[in-house]
Chains A and B, each alone.
Chain A
Amino acid sequence: MAQHASKHAAFQALTANRLLDGEVVYFTESGTWVEDFAAALVVESAKAQDLLTRATSGDYEAHIIEPYLFEVADGVPVSVREIIRAKGPTIHSHFTKPFSDKSV
């Protein structure tokens, strides 16, 4: 798997899949999980573990599964994998999700 965040990345965000339908979701500032990457809380890598801890305390498993951190640079995910997760498969244009990067 290619999603592992390296220690050197300056910024990271937290993602998971929604329990009910498996939809990709991102952790936000206010502690909710939303579908739009643009709403994701991006933190400095040094604070990423705290973010994960915060998000996975309590009853998170009632809503999401398999949370993990990933790298973000210039407001977009670094890996192709995370870009595809954020936008949808590259082979079905009608499934492409509205995607706004965070630099704008």
Chain B
Amino acid sequence: MPTKHLIIDGATASDQWQTIADDISFDGTLDEATLDGKGAIISLARLEAEADTLRQRNTPIGVILRAGEKVGEDPHRLAPFLDMLSLVAIEFPVYRNGRGFSAARILREQYNYKGELRATGDVLYDQWQFMHRCGINAYEIDGDIPLATFTKAMDSLPDAYQPAGDDKRGILWRRS
């Protein structure tokens, strides 16, 4: 795995989260000390199964939404838990799999989710700006890509034809 670095809201950031595999139990090995103050990113299945107990803990909880191939995980399933989530990681397993663009917009626009929306996986340079427009605000990108390149990519298109999950209104709504 190439190293990744994290950009949140346009600035390099240190990761305050750890991904916790389904087979690691919160009660046993995984105490607050192991987490070292970091939040735990868990699977959607686990979130649904353990939400009640997780609500009792102080650990910040995030979830990863898997893009899948034949079917992907449905962002609507997050609805009952959004109040307890401060991060949703959206998986883009290969650049071709763009389900996450819709998932991001659904969470931002239909559920008014305000927490961190993080793109993970294999994403192309040219997708960052589109992700931003869909409401994603955090990116795990290859370690050797400088922040300047990221910033440039975010500006590659000067404007937008259509509204989406950002504050651009789309030219069709602005001309008249």
Direct contact of A and B (CB under 8 A): no
